[in-house]
A and B are shown apart, each in its own frame.
Chain A
Amino acid sequence: MTETWRLIDMRIEDAPTQMSIDEAIALARPKGETPNTVRLYRWNPSAVSIGYFQSVEKEVNLEACEEKGVDVIRRITGGGAVYHDYNGEITYSLVAPEKDPRIPRDILASYELICGAIIRGLEELGVDCEFKPVNDIVAGDKKISGNAQTRRHGVVLQHGTVLVDSDIKTMFQVLRVSDAKISDKLIQAVEERVTNIRRYLGREVPFKEARDALVKGFEETFDVVLEPGELTEREEGLVRELHEKYSSKEWVFQR
């Protein structure tokens, strides 16, 4: 019989809540209270998330974020800075025990497998793309998804971004790409290294269509059925506790 995993389906929340939910699910999972879980979600307001080890001042144009009403948050996972555009981006997360026979122990292999679910989803939409080690997905050499994983308490948490119709110009206004002053020419070059589903296909792709394709990608890759569900009471309690951490200046500005 095909196994069922929980799907927390397209919740729209602010940045501290989204990061709290991912961590809460990872904290609750080892106790066996919850099944493996896939989330698809959007950030409202739009937000920049930076990797655990990144310097907020170096990676984020805080003035531009303030001006545009874009939140800034530090993730629990390493990796790079991401612009989560409310109008053009879907984030996914997956939580499963490290011991799950489907999850390779080797970290690179596990990235490749989990990214494979996103790639299948994108291919379903007509986007020809591939895994680019160590943690990206590219379509025609342009980045369309970035991914980050952590492992703790015997659990794998991987989350990542899927660019549906992200405003790439705003992306590079809120993210600092390299040291200080960049010429227009260079900004153009950077913008050309990123794409999104709409740009690639040359047509609008509604969130519902992208969501359906990603669900299918996970189901086929892991040979499971994703069944929409809710967070448990314990997880909701953890979310409330963690929210304080994620929204604190101490957390966001620690590096």
Chain B
Amino acid sequence: MKRAEYKIPGGKLLVAETEVKDGVLITVKVTGDFFMHPEEAINDLEEALRGIQVSKIDETVEAFFGEKEITLFGISEKDFAHVLKLTLES
């Protein structure tokens, strides 16, 4: 399990934990003090990311938020992709 933290300047903290096997995301968990409505969508986001190639993080996150009516506050969708990719470097 790899972990990364990303503190948005002047704002919220995003923490990601991932497990990668053969270039595929096996486990994905995102926590932090941000806001997202509806809140349960975080589970759908994690589900959408499970089983994808790590090279597809950006497009998967973008497609997820493009399809659904989700409001983010204190963070942007790019921040999710950013913190997930940070775990790959750790």
The answer to whether A and B come from one shared complex is yes
Interface residues of A (CB under 8 A from B): 51-55, 58, 76-81, 107-108, 134-135, 148-152, 255
Does B65 reach chain A (CB closer than 8 Å)? no
Return the chain A residue nearest B35 by Cβ: A78
- Give 1 or 0 for each of B11-37: 1 = CB within 8 Å of chain A CB: 110010000000000000111111111
Whether the Cβ atoms of B15 and A58 lie closer than 8 Å is yes
Provide the bound-state CA to CA distance between A81 and B15, in Å. 15
| A77: chain B residues within 8 A (beta carbon) | 35, 39
Shortest C-beta distance, A35 to chain B (Å), equals 23
Verify A151–B71 contact, CB threshold 8 A: yes
Q: Is B51 close to A, CB under 8 A?
A: no
Cross-chain contact A53 with B31 (CB below 8 angstroms): yes
What is the predominant secondary structure among interface residues of chain A facing chain B? loop
10 interchain pairs (CB within 8 A)? A53-B31, A53-B32, A53-B36, A78-B34, A79-B35, A134-B12, A148-B35, A150-B38, A150-B39, A152-B38
Bin chain B's interface residue count: 10 to 19
A55 / chain B contacts, CB cutoff of 8 Å: 15, 31
Q: Is the interface of B mostly helix, strand, loop or mixed?
A: strand
Complex contact A79–B11 (CB within 8 A): no
Complex CA gap A51/B39 in Å reads 10
Please pick, from B33, B38, B71, the residue contacting A79 in the complex, using a CB distance under 8 A.
B33
Query: Assuming A53-B30, A135-B74, what are 15 further A-B pairs, CB within 8 angstroms?
Result: A52-B39, A52-B42, A53-B31, A53-B42, A54-B32, A55-B31, A78-B34, A78-B35, A78-B73, A78-B74, A80-B33, A81-B33, A107-B73, A150-B38, A150-B39
B42 shortest CB reach to chain A, Å:
6
Q: How far is the CA of A225 from the CA of B64 in the complex (A)?
A: 43
Given A134-B11, A134-B73, A135-B74, A54 and B35 contact (CB-CB distance below 8 Å): no
User: Which of chain A's residues have a CB closer than 8 A to the CB of B30?
Assistant: 53
Instruction: Kindly identify, within residues 36 to 72 of chain B, every residue whose CB is under 8 Å from any CB belonging to chain A.
Output: 36-39, 42, 71
Chain B nearest Cβ from A115, distance in angstroms: 14
Considering only CB atoms, which chain B residue lies closest to A179 in the complex?
B5
CB <8 Å contact, B15 and A78 = no
Query: Given the complex of chains A and B, what is the CA–CA distance between A240 and B31 in angstroms?
Result: 29
Chain B residue at minimal CB-CB distance from A50: B33
Q: Chain A residue with minimal CB distance to B43?
A: A254
Q: Bound complex: CA of A107 vs CA of B71, how far in Å?
A: 9
Chain B residues near A53 (CB-CB < 8 A): 30-34, 36, 39, 42
The residue in A52, A55, A107, A108 that gathers the most chain B C-beta atoms within 10 A of its C-beta is: A52
Supposing A58-B15, A107-B73 touch, asked if A149 and B32 sit within 8 A by C-beta, the answer is no
CA distance A148 to B35 in the complex (A): 8
Bound state CA distance, A77 and B38, in angstroms? 9
Bound-complex Cα distance A55 to B38 (A): 18
Name which of B29, B36, B42, B73 has the most chain A CB atoms within 10 A of its CB.
Answer: B73
State A55–B3 Cα separation when bound (angstroms).
13
